[in-house]
Amino acid sequence: MADRVFFAVCEGRVTEYDYLTLLQNLHGAACSFRIDMPSPGSRRDDMTPEQVADFAVRVAESDDDQYTEIWAIYDRDQHVGIPRALERLARKAPKVRVAFSHPSFEFWLYLHFAAYDVSQNGSSQELVRRLNQQEAWARYGRDKRITQARAADLAPHIVTAANRARGLEKRCAADDCTHVRPGAVCGLLERDPGSGMGALIESLGIR
Ligand SMILES: [Zn+2]
What does DSSP say about strands 33-36 and 4-10: parallel, antiparallel, or unpaired?
A: parallel
Q: How far apart are CA 11 and CA 26, in angstroms?
A: 23
Average pLDDT over residues 44-49: 82
Lowest mean pLDDT among 36-40, 112-116, 132-136, 159-163: 36-40
Residue-number span of the structural domain to which 35 is assigned: 4-204
Q: What is the whole-number distance in angstroms between the Cα of residue 27 and the centre of ligand 1?
A: 31
More confident residue, 183 or 137: 137
Question: Tell me, what's the pLDDT at 135?
Answer: 97
The mean of the pLDDT values for the chain is 94
Q: What is the whole-number distance in angstroms between the Cα of residue 126 and the centre of ligand 1?
A: 20
Q: What is the whole-number distance in angstroms between the Cα of residue 103 and the centre of ligand 1?
A: 14
Residues within 5 A (CB) of ion ligand 1: 172, 177, 179, 186
Q: What is the whole-number distance in angstroms between the Cα of residue 179 and the centre of ligand 1?
A: 5
Give the count of domains, the chain: 1
Question: Tell me, what's the pLDDT at 101?
Answer: 95
Q: What is the whole-number distance in angstroms between the Cα of residue 38 and the centre of ligand 1?
A: 32
DSSP state string for 13-48: SSHHHHHHHHHHHHHHHHHTEEEE---GGG--TT--
pLDDT of 182 strictly over 80: no
pLDDT of 78 strictly over 80: no
Q: How far apart are CA 58 and CA 42, in angstroms?
A: 14
Q: What is the whole-number distance in angstroms between the Cα of residue 159 and the centre of ligand 1?
A: 22
Q: What is the whole-number distance in angstroms between the Cα of residue 116 and the centre of ligand 1?
A: 14
Q: How far apart are CA 80 and CA 97, in angstroms?
A: 20
Average pLDDT over residues 167-184: 87
Distances (CA, A) of 152 to 23, 124, 135, 201: 12, 23, 12, 17
Give the confidence band of 32 by pLDDT, cuts at 50, 70, 90: very high
What does DSSP say about strands 96-102 and 33-36: parallel, antiparallel, or unpaired?
A: unpaired
Question: Tell me, what's the pLDDT at 1?
Answer: 65
Per the CB < 8 A criterion, the answer to whether 167 and 202 are in contact is no
User: Is the N-terminal amide bond of 94 cis, ω within 30° of 0?
Assistant: yes
- Segment 107-129, tens digit of pLDDT: 999 999 999 999 998 899 999 99
Question: Tell me, what's the pLDDT at 21?
Answer: 98
CA 144 to chain centroid: 15
- In the DSSP assignment, the letter for residue 136 is G
Q: What is the whole-number distance in angstroms between the Cα of residue 69 and the centre of ligand 1?
A: 26
